[in-house]
Amino acid sequence: MSKHHQVLIIGGGTAGIMVASQMLKKNPKIDIGLFEPANKHFYQPAWTLVGANTYSYEKTGRSMASVMPKGVNWIKEVVTNLDPDNNKLSTKAGDYTYDYLVVAPGLRMAPELVKGLPEAMDKGVVCSNYTDPRHTWEVLKNFKGGTALFTQPTTPIKCGGAPQKIMYLAEDYFKKSGVRDKTTVVFATPGSVIFGVKPIAETLMQVIDRKDINIRFHHKLVEVDAEKQIAWYELGKDIKAGGCVVMSGDNEGKELDESIQYNYHKLGTIKEGNRFGIKFDMMHLAPPQAAPKFIAASPLANEGGWVSVSEKTLQHTKYNNVFGLGDAAQLPTAKTGAAIRKQVPVVVGNILHLIANNELAGKEYNGYSSCPLVTGYGKMVLAEFTYGSVFAPDPKLKQFPLMISDSSKEHWRLWILKKYILPYLYWNKMMKGIEV
């Protein structure tokens, strides 16, 4: 027995709720079913602030019922199988058919991709704002000095800037708690630059200089030994020929490859074969992340497991009545709520046009995303960019009285935007289907 809906939406996160609410605003008669098993909806961008004790965790969550648009049939089930050839999907309870499908289930945390990480996650001195920001704060509060390691995986992740935001806040907090002078702050990243957008990277390198942070580029995290407090890395880049030592115990620091080390600090790393171990006294990391398993196993996925959609129309590359957006979509831009804010009108416009005229509306997404990079308590930079990592401030945000002329520079007003204005806009406008 299968139930039919005109539009089915998978996911009650930012993308799913926004699509449903904007669609109903434009056409209240449309028949929408939305799959979401969770009872709570979280405003995750504030978790960075929770980890540094400057935002209440309780305030980041609301009941799913309170954000679910009136008129949507909320199906509190987990989707187990997708059959787009027959316009059908399945849950444990049964089958559902659709005219149009919107796929926005978000991504999943995949700590199992790094050896030892599932056992270490959110315990002891290993913390992550991605999973338990309250534990992050406990770790920062109890930190007495030593090596504070901040790191990120090689997989795509939500908000690529988040692993460094908490580092800047932590460094500020260590000054307040009196342990900064006996602390080395290290950022180990698989990337070759601190941020992909040039004007933003320039500002961030000034922050790194000011805060005396050691960056280690091309570092691929392969194992976490929670007991010995060692993070093991492989270098994603061939070290210069001619016996250049990057980091190996006794010789460390004698000859350094500048493209791998910036603002060098001696850490007493351990070398084993082709791996380098960094001993830490606390570690914050973004765990590896992946597409949900039911997506990766479906005909909608590309080789990496993500939903294969057109970069501009967000229509599926094979199935014309399927659209994908948000974190699960294969789009070459940062996975953020700001990206979703610009993706939703494209999906909604195109589906409504297809229903009415059997063709796309000509609405296109330009890859806009934004990362509010908190650089300390009361300081922020707003990284806004489009496809190709082109710095591109949104004229809509410029209208806010608090905005500054150059958002690539640190400013307290941008902190106010992050802490007060954006959460307000999220709950009161974005969730309600009002385009901002």
Q: How many residues does the structure list for the chain?
A: 436
Instruction: Name the token pair of 131.
Output: 């999973």
Q: In the block, which residue shows the tokens 């030892």? A: 116
Instruction: Name the token pair of 169.
Output: 């806040």
Instruction: Name the token pair of 225.
Output: 């030994």
Determine the angle formed by the axes of helices 133-142 and 162-177, rounding to 10 degrees.
Answer: 30
Name the active-site residue from 371, 374, 414, 430: 371
Instruction: Name the token pair of 1.
Output: 């027995």
Instruction: Name the token pair of 210.
Output: 């000011």
Instruction: Name the token pair of 69.
Output: 């648009």
Cα torsion 149, 257, 332, 390 to 10°: value is 100
Q: Are strands 282-285 and 126-127 parallel, antiparallel or unpaired?
A: parallel
Known active-site residue 244: no
Q: How many CA atoms lie within 13 A of 255 on its CB side?
A: 7
Instruction: Check if the beta carbon of residue 186 is closer than 8 Å to that of residue 265.
Output: yes
Q: Are strands 219-225 and 214-216 parallel, antiparallel or unpaired?
A: unpaired
* DSSP per-residue letters across 56-109: -GGGGEEEHHHHSPTT-EEE---EEEEEGGGTEEEETTEEEEEEEEEE----EE
- What whole-number distance in Å separates Cα of residue 340 and Cα of residue 326? 6
Q: Is 182 helix (H, G, I), strand (E, B) or coil?
A: helix
- Helix or strand (DSSP H, E) at 296: helix 293-296
Name the active-site residue from 8, 9, 32, 159: 159
Give how far Cα 396 sits from Cα of 14, 347, 369, 416, Å. Answer: 19, 20, 13, 17
- What whole-number distance in Å separates Cα of residue 271 and Cα of residue 192? 21
Cα torsion 334, 335, 341, 342 to 10°: value is 40
Neighbours of 332 (CB within 10 A): 10
Q: Residue 136 is which amino acid?
A: T
Instruction: Check if the beta carbon of residue 34 is closer than 8 Å to that of residue 56.
Output: no
Known active-site residue 159: yes
Instruction: Check if the beta carbon of residue 334 is closer than 8 Å to that of residue 340.
Output: no
Catalytic residues: 159, 371
